[in-house]
Amino acid sequence: MTDEAAIPALAAGVKFRFDAVRQAWVVLAPERLFLPDEQAVAILTLVDGVRTLGAIIDDLAVSFDAPRAVIAGDVTTMLRDLAEKGVLRWAVL
């Protein structure tokens, strides 16, 4: 479901936090962890279980000063990928 009214949230048992030792943001999940790149960090920072996909795209289009359509494509792709991996879920409205 990637209609812009959808709300992404971290799945159960997934944590997103800053690691002081590596000085990097980390995603911690069951049997999996990764260090997201700068773009992914910017997106994940806005995933709070409240903001809609549309709101996230709006926010990033402003902060990256990029065309909304381009941002929308990147964000949707990334979030869909993370949902498939079980890191994110789509909250029901």
Partner 1 sequence: MSALDPPMGLVAELTHRCPLQCPYCANPLALHRSAAELETATWRRVLEEAAALGVLQLHLSGGEPTVRKDLVELVQAAAMLGLYSNLITSGVLLDMPLLDRLAQAGLDHVQISLQDAEPDNADRIGGFTGGHARKLQAARAVTQAGLALTLNFVVHRQNVTRVPAMLDIAEALGAGRVEIAHVQYHGWALPNRDALLPSRAELDGVTATVEAARQRLKGRVVIDYVVPDYHASRPKPCMGGWGRRFITITPTGMALPCHVAESLPGLVFPSVREQSLGAIWRDSPAFMRFRGVSWMPEPCRSCDMREIDWGGCRCQAFALTGDASRTDPACEKSPDHATILAAVAARGATPAAFIYRRYANARETDD
- In angstroms, what CA-CA distances link 32 with 10, 50, 66, 78? 14, 25, 32, 17
Q: Please name the residue ranges forming H helices in 11-91.
A: 38-45, 53-63, 68-84
CB of 41 to partner 1, least distance (A): 16
C-beta closer to partner 1: residue 21 or 93: 21
Q: Round to whole Å and give the CA distance between 74 and 81.
A: 11
C-beta closer to partner 1: residue 12 or 69: 12
Binding of partner 1 by 22 (CB under 8 A) = yes
Chain residues that interact with partner 1, rule: CB under 8 A: 11-15, 17, 19, 21-22, 26, 28-31, 33, 83-86
